[in-house]
């Protein structure tokens, strides 16, 4: 088998890259260990920045996002018993769309299938070879048969547990990590919206987030011990915790409903440098992880593949390799900016067990500042919608 670009992983990064390359007349093959049903049904939240929304629309895969996603022009910060709104559109001229990641994946898979793109699900025994040479090769098994896929380039979009990052010699990488001592307890509930927009709540009991999935389904989270077990939380206990953290002195209350999904996710910040070695390039979670507080994970993956697709276009259409050579440097500017914003949001909004009463009051002071100073609110809004120049 032979292709120009071999892509490992059919998450948002891999699928979008394959779609962008197809629009530029560049061949690719996508390999995924899971089934199509699995990747399309693994529920993950998604907040899409303006740039992500625009790219999906411009490339013909944004129609369902525009029809079914929830366009938000702001969000609320809840603290000290009150709520204050950050008006994203007024502050930046931009907006966000709440549209689940697995729905983005469905749209991208449909586009690749419609274009008769090479998508192979259920592959196993994947290994990379000759990434330092001119014909890097991906070996894998699919439907019981062994295959060698020769490529000009290999793009690792296989997440934090994939093989791609570890294929870069450890001596050439430098990994940076911050593991947080808390996680998020997430629920999906059949209920009407508690708010027209996202609510980020800081409370002495811990952080909470209220997000609308649809007019009848709501996604909510609250800070918890990452080693806790969902079986320890009855529905009544969950609702009592959310009421305690989110309800305001002004009469706003969380709307209850039937809970049909519960899960606990850990939180960490992670960046691996370099993002390239020889003919191998990393994109998305294979190279970096952000805590979900800043709503940056999916958008960083989109940013990576936007840069990569342009670099590959320059290589094939203009006989230029400079953009490929500078890929890590270019991508990492945006990545570190997003890492800092996500870290800042996380530190400001969560209960920190090692924080003194003095430091806890600094969190409140920071929230007062960003909700009363227009210049501080603009900075926050620009980071949130992805409008910050890097």
Mean pLDDT by 10 residues, the chain (390 residues): 97 97 98 94 86 96 95 96 96 95 96 97 97 94 96 96 95 95 96 93 96 85 97 97 93 94 95 96 97 94 97 98 98 97 97 92 97 98 84
Provide the pLDDT for residue 390: 58
Backbone φ and ψ of 134, nearest 5° = -95, -15
For residue 120, count CB atoms less than 10 angstroms from its CB and return exposed for 0-12, middle for 13-18, buried for 19 or more. middle
The rounded distance, in Å, linking the Cα atoms of 69 and 56 is 13
The residue assigned the tokens 């002004």 is: 250
DSSP state of 275: S
Provide the pLDDT for residue 150: 97
**Residue 283 CA to its chain's centroid (Å):** 12
Helix axes 12-23, 297-318, angle to 10 degrees: 30
DSSP 128-179: EE-TTSSS-EEEEEETTEEEEEE-SEEEE-S-TTSSTGGGS-GGG-EEEEEE
3-state helix, strand, coil in the chain (%, to 5): 40, 30, 30
**What is the C-alpha end-to-end distance of the chain, expressed in Å?**
39
Q: Which residues pair with 218 in a beta bridge?
A: 189, 212
Active site residues: 72, 200, 292, 296, 384
**Global pTM?**
0.94
For the chain, the structural domain boundaries read 5-71+93-176+268-345
Provide the pLDDT for residue 389: 58
371: number of Cβ within 10 Å: 18
User: Are 275 and 282 a contacting pair, CB within 8 Å?
Assistant: yes
Provide the pLDDT for residue 42: 80
| CATH architecture assignment, domain 5-71+93-176+268-345 | 3-Layer(bba) Sandwich (3.50)
> How do beta strands 124-129 and 118-121 pair?
unpaired
The rounded distance, in Å, linking the Cα atoms of 261 and 111 is 29
The rounded distance, in Å, linking the Cα atoms of 149 and 1 is 5
The rounded distance, in Å, linking the Cα atoms of 377 and 243 is 27
The rounded distance, in Å, linking the Cα atoms of 93 and 385 is 10
* CA–CA distances in Å: residue 36 to residues 61, 101, 139, 142, 150: 18, 14, 21, 14, 24
């Amino acid at each position: 088998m032979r292709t120009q670009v071999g892509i490992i992983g059919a998450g948002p990064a891999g699928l979008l890259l394959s779609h962008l390359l197809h629009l530029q007349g560049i061949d690719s093959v996508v390999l995924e260990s899971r089934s199509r049903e699995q990747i399309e049904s693994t529920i993950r939240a998604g907040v899409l920045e303006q740039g992500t929304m625009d790219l999906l629309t411009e490339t013909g895969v944004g129609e369902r996002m525009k029809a079914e996603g929830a366009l938000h022009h702001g969000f609320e910060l809840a603290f000290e018993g009150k709520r204050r709104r950050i008006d994203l559109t007024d502050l930046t001229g931009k907006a966000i769309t709440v549209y689940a990641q697995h729905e983005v994946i469905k749209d991208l898979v449909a586009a690749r299938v419609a274009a008769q793109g090479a998508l192979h699900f259920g592959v196993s025994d994947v290994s990379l070879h000759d990434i330092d040479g001119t014909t890097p090769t991906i070996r894998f098994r699919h439907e019981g048969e062994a295959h060698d896929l020769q490529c000009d380039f290999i793009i690792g979009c296989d997440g934090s547990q994939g093989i791609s990052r570890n294929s870069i010699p450890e001596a050439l990488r430098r990994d940076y990590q911050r593991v947080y001592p808390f996680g998020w307890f997430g629920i999906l509930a059949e209920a009407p919206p508690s708010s027209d927009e996202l609510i980020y709540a800081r409370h002495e009991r811990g952080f909470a987030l209220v997000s609308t999935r649809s007019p009848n389904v709501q996604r909510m989270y609250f800070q918890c011990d990452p080693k806790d077990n969902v079986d320890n939380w009855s529905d009544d206990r969950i609702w009592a915790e959310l009421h305690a953290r989110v309800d305001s002195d002004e009469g706003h209350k969380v709307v209850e409903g039937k809970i049909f999904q519960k899960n606990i996710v850990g939180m960490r910040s992670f960046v691996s440098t370099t993002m390239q070695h020889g003919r191998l390039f990393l994109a998305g979670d294979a190279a970096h992880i952000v805590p979900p507080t800043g709503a940056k994970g999916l958008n960083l993956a989109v940013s990576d593949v936007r840069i990569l697709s342009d670099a590959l276009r320059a290589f094939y259409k203009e006989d230029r390799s400079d953009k490929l050579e500078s890929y890590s440097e270019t991508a990492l500017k945006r990545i570190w900016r997003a890492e800092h914003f996500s870290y800042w949001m996380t530190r400001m909004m969560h209960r920190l067990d090692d924080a003194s009463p003095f430091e806890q009051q600094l969190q409140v002071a920071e929230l007062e500042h960003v909700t009363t100073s227009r210049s501080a609110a603009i900075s926050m809004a620009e980071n949130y919608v992805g409008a910050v120049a890097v």
